[in-house]
Structure formats: structure tokens, C-alpha cells
Amino acid sequence: MVSMNELLEHLPPQCLPESLGGLLPWDPGSWNCLLLPARAGKPDPLDDVVLVLAEGQRGSVHKPGAGSMTLSELKEHTNSLGRRGIYEEYEMIRNEKPEGTFSAAMAVVNRDRNRYGDVPCLDQTRVKLKRVNWNDRSDYINASFMDGYLQKNMYIGTQGPMENTFQDFWQMVWEQNVLVIVMTTRVEEGGHRKCGQYWPLSPESAVLYGGVTVANKAAENHQHYRKTSLEISTRQGRERRQISHLQFLSWPDFGVPTSAAALISFRDAVKKEQRRLVNDLGNQWKVPAGGPPIVVHCSAGIGRTGTGTHMGRKHKDSMWSMGKTIQNVLSFCHFIENIDSCKSGP
């Protein structure tokens, strides 16, 4: 046995975790980012362990189908296809007509609620708003439920809110008991408006959106994202809820992040916030155990949103199918915008 001080004499602090007096961060996100450069192009020795654990998870909504494969098989498959083959497979799947209808999205009364008219959401999976006095025109918002691996309706994918849909957005957040909002775009990019400023920017400021008051309590800047702590309440003010707004700042439009480490870090931050806020609710939240849906949006809701909601699937699925996953995303809306987005998950 050696003491902590003796251990530091034999090993450099760069090799030891912070809990043992070293300099290494010991949280999953930082550890994954640290290992990423060394593991590039090499098989992950933990793949088999992760796959076995995933198979034993209860409550999974994932059902492996024809063409499903393990992570190592998927890697071999994509390498054999090459970029051209992947592009052809993507185009074939993308051109398949989704099963379902778009009646609500195409209704005249709702057309101004779509940021992009050619990106409707399906009637079968759309989020329906309750009709209340302060918003009784329609129950429509361009937003769709999306399943996670272990939880049905784990995400809500939506378009970037516009000035005329701010109150719809916050009504949805309130009614669906949302705790975490993930924004994968800036308000403006390349001189173009990508999303409305739907939350108050200044700390300790508040704005009323329809029947929901949103207050900015604090903001933190991180390397690749910004976290804003929000508090929301209804007009009556009897109930106040805490919301974490996480805005990813390292995703170029019409492309993908150059660093997978940035996505890994951001994904872990999102999961951490969801767990923290669910735990803070205590007995107020029962099921599902993973918490209420996480809202994810970019501008159109077709590129970064689809990629962001499926980033974690490759870490959970025992049998994974690129084609089936893309088809699942397309069944909610044409979410995955370009071929590079198919490859951007960590």
C-alpha cells in the first residue's frame, strides 16, 4: 500500500484522476474526449461489453430488423461502401415517401407556423397543443415526437421558433413538462436569420410569451456551447419550473462539426442536465424514468436536429442499422438534411 503523496512521487499528475490528486478529469465526457485521438481508426475494446449490456436493458423500444449489424460490422460495411456507396444508399432512403399524412401542417390556418413550407411534420407523430383561451386558433406546432433507444417519445424535434410561434413553443414546453431544450444553431448565421430570439438574453430579465413567463436566471459559457438557466411559470404563477437551455455553437450550417470530441462533450452535458433536473423533481416525477421529452431544434428541423437526437444510438444499440435509423428519422419528418450528417454521430 502507498499513500497518496507516495503515489504522486511515482506517477506524473497527468496520469492520475483528480480524485487521486492528479490532473485528469474523471467524468465520462472528458474521458471520452481524452481517449478519442488515440482510439481513432481502432476498434473499441469495450464495444462487446456495451452491446451485451444494451441487450439486457428493459423497456427498450428498439427492434433490430433485417440488415442490422454490430458496431464493428457497421464500420466494415461503411468502409466497403465508400463515400459514393453511402451517398447512393442515403439518396435511395431519402427519396422513399414517408408513411403518413401532412394535413395539419398544410392547412391554411397553420401555414404561417412552418418556418419552411417544404418541411411539414406528419400528423401521426406531431405534438398537439391544448386549445386554451390565449391560443385557440389551432393545436398545431411544427414539432414531432421521436423515440430514443430505451424510451418512447424521448425527444421532440422542432423547427427554430419564429416570432409568431414563440408562444406556441413555450406552451408546448409547459404542456410536455420539458426540462431541457437543445438548440443546435445560432440565431443568425452567415447574415441569415436562422431562429428567433425566443428566450430572454439578459440575466434576471423575464418575458411573457402567451401564457408562459420565461425568466433568465443565469448563463454559463463553455468551449462549444452556452448554458442558460431559465425559470418558467404560467400567468397564475402558482408553479415555477426550472429549464436548462443548451445552445451548441460549433456546428456549421450545411456541414458537420470538425471535431467529434465537441459533440461528445455536448451530448454528455445534455444527458447530465436531464438527469440533474429529473432528480431535482424527486417524487414529483414518476415515469418514464428518463424524464420528459428533450426538445431539440436547429433552424429547419431537418439536419442537425435529426443528427442530434440520434447521436447516442450507436452507444446503446446492440444491433444497429444505418438505413433503419434514417428511415425512423424520416418517418417523423425529413430530418437528416445531408449525407455528412449520417456520419457525424460520435
Beta bridge partners, 143, equal 158
Cα gap 249→226, rounded to integer Å = 8
Helices 71-94 and 47-55: crossing angle in degrees, nearest 10, is: 70
Count how many residues are written for the chain.
346
Q: How many CB atoms lie within 10 A of CB 307?
A: 27
Identify the CA nearest to 141 among candidates 175, 184, 176, 104.
104
Where helices occur in the chain by DSSP H, the ranges are 4-10, 28-39, 47-55, 71-94, 103-106, 166-175, 260-281, 304-309, 313-316, 322-330
Give how far Cα 254 sits from Cα of 16, 114, 190, 221, Å: 40, 20, 11, 24
User: 236 Cβ partners below 8 Å, 6+ apart?
Assistant: none
* Active-site pick, 33, 121, 195, 298: 298
Q: Report yes or no: 152 and 291 within 8 Å, Cβ to Cβ.
A: no
Burial class of residue 315 in the structure, from the number of CB atoms within 10 Å of its CB (0-12 exposed, 13-18 middle, 19+ buried):
middle
**Has 298 been annotated as catalytic?**
yes
User: 151 Cβ partners below 8 Å, 6+ apart?
Assistant: 59, 61, 288, 290
Q: Which residues are catalytic?
A: 298
